[in-house]
Chain A
Amino acid sequence: MKKIFFIITMAFVVLASSCSKDLNQVPISSGTTETFYKTPSDFIQGINAVYNGLRGATNSPGYPDRLLNLSEIRSDNIYGVSVTVRDWDPINNFSPGIAANTYVEEAWSTDFNGIFRANTLLDQLKKNGANVNSTALATRLQAEASFLRAFFYFDLIRYYGKLPIIDHPVTAPEAVAIPLSAVTDVYKFIITDLQYAIANLPTSYTGVDIGRATKYAAEATLALVYMTRSGPTYNIEGPGLALNEWSMALPLLQDIITNGGFVFNPNYANIFSYSNQSPSAAGNKEAIFDVMYISGASPALGATYVWGLAPNTYFTSLNIPNSNGSLEIIPVSSNLINSYEPGDLRKAATVYTAGYTTAAGTETRPFFKKYLDVTKAPAASRFDWGENFIAIRYTDILMLKAECILHGTPGTQIDVDGIVNQVRNRAGLTPLANVTLAQLFDERRKEFADEGSRWFDLQRSGNLITIMNNWINSEDTQKRINAVTANYIIYPVPQTQLDAAPGLYKQNTGY
């Protein structure tokens, strides 16, 4: 009897004391930040997920779509007044009430998710970097993550100005205590990341790693950061700081040109061909950094930006299933159409002007088609186009160099004219002499139309407000577009963010 009592009592005591560690259960069928990051492959999967932030979630817009929605549509390249009120309307017509607009929300959301992923990997490299088993690989991963974090931040700063700075994964309670930082501080953070990336990224990759960020991608981004900071302030807390850092940009651009091994593609249309893919010496030699897509993967890894500015009815007219295309046509502005000189080969490669007919009638307004090859329409899903997006293009590097020279950095007018005429020659146009900044920006407009560069070019040129308002006066026959003020150079802080932590962020002026 006493024995039994003893045994039972002991059992009671042992059970009670030994089970509490069981409360720390880990998921059996999925990884966690605690259990993952044990082998080099885990870290590589971690960095891949940061690149995934460029393309956004499956079936959702990513970096290229965003350039079209927030830069191209915002600019004088698109006159997007629609019949039914569409999401792009208020972007195009400078409505002040766009804080809850889906495009405005998306940019903040996707980029900060990418930043979170970069921070997660950087955090894990700090904590468990030994598991990578290779200092070289660990350094490269850190440099890739730093580059991508800077890339996302630079994307954000051009759209929103002031931003919260996050250098590690933050919890919900932490997040509600991190305010917006001044633009200069955000830039400082970006530049530090990019400088680290330049110092530690390889100049090229081989095989399955082709497509990762190189030193030149980081140099290109940093050069554009300096040039953007050098743009005028317009007296807003936007991306321009009037810092006159052209001379800091030039050596970076020059290094890419001299050592990068990139080649000016003699055929404009081929730059965007579906057979001229990954950025490498053997692939698309004009591409310095791509957002990459393929069709037919599961889960899907295809693109949507391809048809973002092409109307759905166009695909209907061709009997292409899966309803590709925007819900209504988003027409290219007549101002852009008319700006093409006769014989400019880029016009046909960029804009569809031939019109098409469906049951609903004939549509003659032009739309952007630079990435569109209807023979490559994906069979299964309209979200699954297999065309890379060139995020940094070699021609742009050359033209940015010309821009720096025109701003007084070392170099000559001959260098500038040479660059611009190389571009014009490819477009089938006659050369110019004594190219001015204004001519350079006109050339950029046509060269980079449908690539999401226009709004930022306008911003950097210093003439954004004048050019936009002149364009509105001539183009907006329907009187649907509001006058552009400096406040509209950047977008409002998304409404969800204001709601998530009331009082934490101050809305940008003018919204």
Chain B
Amino acid sequence: MKKYIILLLTTSLAYSVSMFAQDHPIKGQILDDSTGQGLPNVSITIPGTDKGSNTDETGHFSMLVPESSLKKQFRISSVGYATQMVALRPDVIIRLKKETKTLDDVIVIGYGAQKKKNITGAVSSFDARKLEERPIARVDQALVGQLAGVTVKQTTGIPGKAFSIQVRGTGSISGGNEPLYVIDGFPLSVNSSNTGNGTFTTGNPLDNINPNDIESIEVLKDAAAAAIYGSRASNGVVLITTKRGQTGKAKISFNVYGGYNQASKKLKMLDGNQWIDRATEMINAAYVLKYGAAGATANDDDATRRTKIGLTGTQINTAYMLDPRWAMPGHPGLAYHDWQDVIERKGQMQNYELSASGGTDAVRYYIAGNYANQDGFVTGVGYKSYSARANVEVNLSKKIKLGLNVAPTYSVTQDPGVEGKDNIFHQALSMTPVQEDTVGNLPNIGKNAQYAWSNTTNAPLGKLLNNIGTTKRFRTLATVFGDVEIIKGLNLRSSVNFDNTDNAASTYVPYITTGTQASRTFTGSNNLLSATSGTYNSYRRQTFVNENTLTYNKVFNKIHSLNVLIGQSYNLDRLDRTQLSSSGGYTSSVIQTLNAAAAVTGNTQSNQSVLLSYFSRLQYGFKDKYLLSASLRSDGSSRFGANNQYGVFPSASLGWRIIEENFMKHITVLSDLKLRVSYGVNGNNNLPNDYASIATLGSAGYVLGATPAAVIGQAPNVLANPSLQWEKSQTWDGGFDFGFLNNRITGSFDYYNKLNTKLLLNVQVPEVTGFQTYLNNIGSVRNIGEELELTTRNMVGKFQWTTTINVSHNTNKIVSLAPGQTQIIVPNGFEVADQILRVGQPLNSIYVVKQIGFLTQDDITKKVATYGSGETVGDPKYLDLNGDGVITEADKQIVGHPNPDYTYGITNTFRYKGFDLNILVQGQSGGSIYSLLGRAITRTGQGFTDNAPEAYTQRWKSPTDQGAGRFSKAYSTFGFVANTDWLYSSDYIRVRDITLGYNLKNIFKTPVINGARIYFTLENFFGHDKYYNGLNPESANTTVSSNSSYPEAGDYGGLPLAKSLIIGLNITF
């Protein structure tokens, strides 16, 4: 307060000194209305003149005002604050209110920007400046729970790995469902063709993009908004705008945070005693089943069992005999382990970010550097990134602007192979919890043997400590652009963009973590290393884009506003891959690179595609009341067949700002109302590869010669389809934007109906063509949904409380497949087909046998349908759907679908004095998981060595003790069938983020520091899901389908999400 008075005094002093000049000096200060802090970079202008000024870091400004302007209104504006018009007087102090009239915000649309109130398409906008207030490692992470219709799935718990994003459901069977990303006007290469296992093997467009550099994110959801991106827009378009400098004094910002992360969820498995209880039961059952005819009983001692089995001396057969130590008090010589605890830890995280921005009338800049280091919560897993960005804009003259954005980044991901089938985390869950106490945490590693009653798994910790999986990625994004104002209102913009990613992934698995102890010889023979293996796979992905646009912007007679865009774009994508792997082991136990491999096999492959586009758009507004937007894009792509090389993608949308109508004037409760309706056609050009339409040749060798020997043969291996083209989507969207009570409540609602047609499917064709099927555009899927976004400012004033809610509902249905085809059972790599594509049903519906309880003696007597011949009392009872008396594949039925019906996110923000509190709750409901992990750890017929969830203590034990009714008896011999046992609801609700911040400006009263904020964040600390035998309902890490045309990714040991506690500091100078 004291300082405030001093400031006031100095300003008045300065004023009085200069009052004799011809131009009147005006000084003052602009403050944030809620915090009372000086606001930097506020622009003060006098409309109609070129006079103006900006505030300094403490919110002060001074300017010379001509006499003639003294009486005029001045415009005070700053991003994020409501613009005010005021009459300036000396030593004025103006308190700016935080922006509430969001409708005046300008948001980025494809090839331009538009006032939100004038937007006629469905666009969700995310103000990414908030990201500074919260520790975020990836851009996709930032979008979780923020936008209606934008589903962000965190499919992995490995830090640094890509999330999966879907806009308005899934409409493609084999063409991928990831949106197009555009960074500062640069459309990045769409890469979702390898979603078969949920990972992005040749990179994700958001890799290495530093979230702190981002100013805003807009998602173009409906066809009309996205259609300007034509053949790539069918899955929505995500526009990312990075920060740029503002005219004014340099603003230096330093952000640092640190903390730790750990597993947010643990799957309780049987502990040592519980496992022994189950193992005893199962071994006894197996023994009695095998030797019961010879009088065996569960109470037989070892000697009796040996006689019955036919063993001598101290021989043991672990299948039918128990470890005597199990029954001894204190189980001497045995150690019990919780393998999840063994491999997990508290991982440290730290992040440093330094940025500077500012500018003069001639040059504006934003430069930033970032270092992040995140150790995963699993030993040996981590992510490091180094990134830098420079965004510079130069005004060569009033009419010519040049700019350069360049962002070099480097990251290193460490993952020795944790997630996925038979990988480390799955093994940690399944590993026998009882082990010999002589080998510590490392049974079956190096010279350590495996416990006789254990499964053969090499200790997961041993693999984490010795196996290596390193991915190093160097990526540079660069854009150079020029903008020329040819005549007033007519601008030519030209840009050249280049994205280069060099990615090298190396793996190394030493022999000490593989095989059995017997196979790991430690004497000096060369073959001791034959089990060692390594790979080195690298790719270079390059995208070159040149775009040239002409825009014309003009308001006629103050009521007709017109914006016309025409443009042209050239886009080249290239991927060069190298794959090397060791063959026949290694010759050194020290060297890990492939020069030490006994032999190396390898190959290189390249592919590239070109997209050539022309586009245009017309936006017209009449009195800002009646709005029209229409666009047309023509895409020519080398990926399409010769007969369909060009696609045309039209769209149109209309808006009616009802609030501007006279009859609305007296409806004071409404502060805004706009009606929107749009229709558009978009494409999805994600063909299975760059050359899918062409008859490529494949190897077809033969044998010839006096001494028969192989000869090379080459013949076409696909049927060319010169008509192959993009998948097509047509979307109707209707919606309205509204504001109530002076915009205390604002929001929007959308309904959409999206029909994807010409789906890429392998269609049967007469074999006179030489082939049974070929890739054709056929089949269709419809997505229908509703979205609501709502922001309410519940409390204003000193204590501020704002709530932002988004809810989306989506349903999809297959409308048609190939002619005469009603269903496709997704071929399954695990011999238990569990998904179906059936006309009239949701995409990838879960298709399994229904379990309806446990078999009773009565059932057995009545010969109810069983699976196979080995089912007995206490085994599961399945629904014999077709009533043929046996359980077969034919008894499968649709029991769920993977996509959630509802997704939602709720953010509550509170501000009081210097404190701010932000809480983000996010969740989904209505979907199902068919879990391979469930199959791995809870299947019938599972051996006793593999561990099972703790819930198995409540298994069926006898007709009178049926446990919790969830699990059948432990020992069964009939194998397993894909059934509802492993079906889980994917519903979850999660408190993603709680951040409490405090403004330290109240403490640091030095003028050097312009702003300082300290915060504490709890990420993923609270939540609930129904994935009872898995860790993360959104996990995807394993290829389920055996046919890449029908990608199905499953969870086979995905890590839980990390929960983290972080302390951070933002300081601006």
Contacts and interface: CB of A to CB of B under 8 A. Distances in A.
Contacts of A115: 768, 770
Given A5-B484, A32-B695, A116 B612 contact: no
Contacts of A294: 703, 708-710
A280 B707 CA distance: 11
A115 B701 CA distance: 16
B697 A31 contact: yes
Given A5-B484, A32-B697, A48-B701, A280 B766 contact: no
Contact of B715 (A4, A46, A54, A172): A46
A501 interface: yes
A45 interface: yes
Given A23-B610, A282-B706, A301-B703, A172 B711 contact: no
Nearest to B698: A30
Contacts of B710: 294, 297, 301
B766 A15 contact: no
Nearest to A52: B700
A431 B56 CA distance: 120
A137 interface: no
Interface stretch (B145-153, B771-779, B825-833): B771-779
B486 to A, nearest CB: 6
B705 interface: yes
Task: Name which of B695, B768, B774, B820 has the most chain A CB atoms within 10 A of its CB.
Answer: B768
Given A11-B494, A20-B612, A172-B774, A25 B767 contact: no
B612 A209 contact: no
Interface centre among A12, A212, A504 (most CB of B within 10 A): A12
Nearest to A302: B703
B765 A48 contact: no
Interface in B907-957: none
Nearest to B706: A210
A45 B713 contact: yes
B839 to A, nearest CB: 16
Contacts of A208: 704-706, 709, 711
B704 A292 contact: yes
A28 B607 contact: yes
B228 to A, nearest CB: 17
Interface stretch (A106-114, A335-343, A479-487): A106-114
Given A8-B492, A48-B700, A500-B766, A113 B771 contact: yes
Contact of A45 (B572, B712, B766): B712
Given A48-B701, A208-B705, A294-B708, A12 B608 contact: no
B697 A117 contact: no
A169 interface: yes
B869 to A, nearest CB: 13
A388 interface: yes
Q: Which of B570, B605, B697 has the most CB of A within 10 A?
A: B697
Contacts of B608: 25, 28
B769 A1 contact: no
Contact of B703 (A120, A172, A293, A499): A293
Contacts of B570: 15, 19, 22
Contact of B638 (A24, A53, A206, A502): A24
Interface in A481-511: 496-497, 499-502, 504
A108 B771 CA distance: 11
Contacts of B610: 19, 22-23, 25
Contacts of B764: 496, 499-500
A109 B709 CA distance: 26
A176 B568 contact: no
A401 interface: no
Interface stretch (B518-526, B655-663, B716-724): B716-724
A28 B484 CA distance: 39
Interface string A9-22: 10110011001101
B703 to A, nearest CB: 4
Of the candidates A11, A115, A301, the one having the most CB atoms from chain B within 10 angstroms of its own CB is A301
Name the residue among A24, A48, A277, A501 with the largest chain B CB count within 10 angstroms. A48
Nearest to A163: B768
Interface in B641-665: 642, 645
B726 to A, nearest CB: 14
A212 B446 CA distance: 55
B706 A22 contact: no
B622 interface: no
Contacts of B711: 48, 208
Given A33-B720, A52-B700, A8 B399 contact: no
A29 interface: yes
A31 B696 contact: yes
Interface string A299-339: 10100000000000000000000000000000000000000
A36 B716 CA distance: 10
A59 to B, nearest CB: 13
| Most central of B482, B494, B714, B774 by chain A CB within 10 Å | B714
Interface of B: 397, 399-400, 482, 484, 486, 492, 494, 546, 548, 568, 570, 572, 604-610, 612, 614, 636-638, 642, 645, 690-691, 694-716, 719-722, 764-772, 774, 776, 819-820
Q: Which 7 A-B pairs have the closest CB atoms?
A: A116-B770, A48-B713, A49-B715, A49-B713, A49-B700, A292-B703, A25-B638
6 contacts: A11-B494, A24-B638, A29-B606, A108-B767, A117-B770, A292-B703
Given A5-B492, A32-B694, A55-B703, 13 more contacts: A12-B494, A19-B570, A23-B612, A23-B636, A28-B606, A34-B695, A48-B704, A49-B715, A172-B776, A176-B765, A282-B706, A292-B708, A502-B819
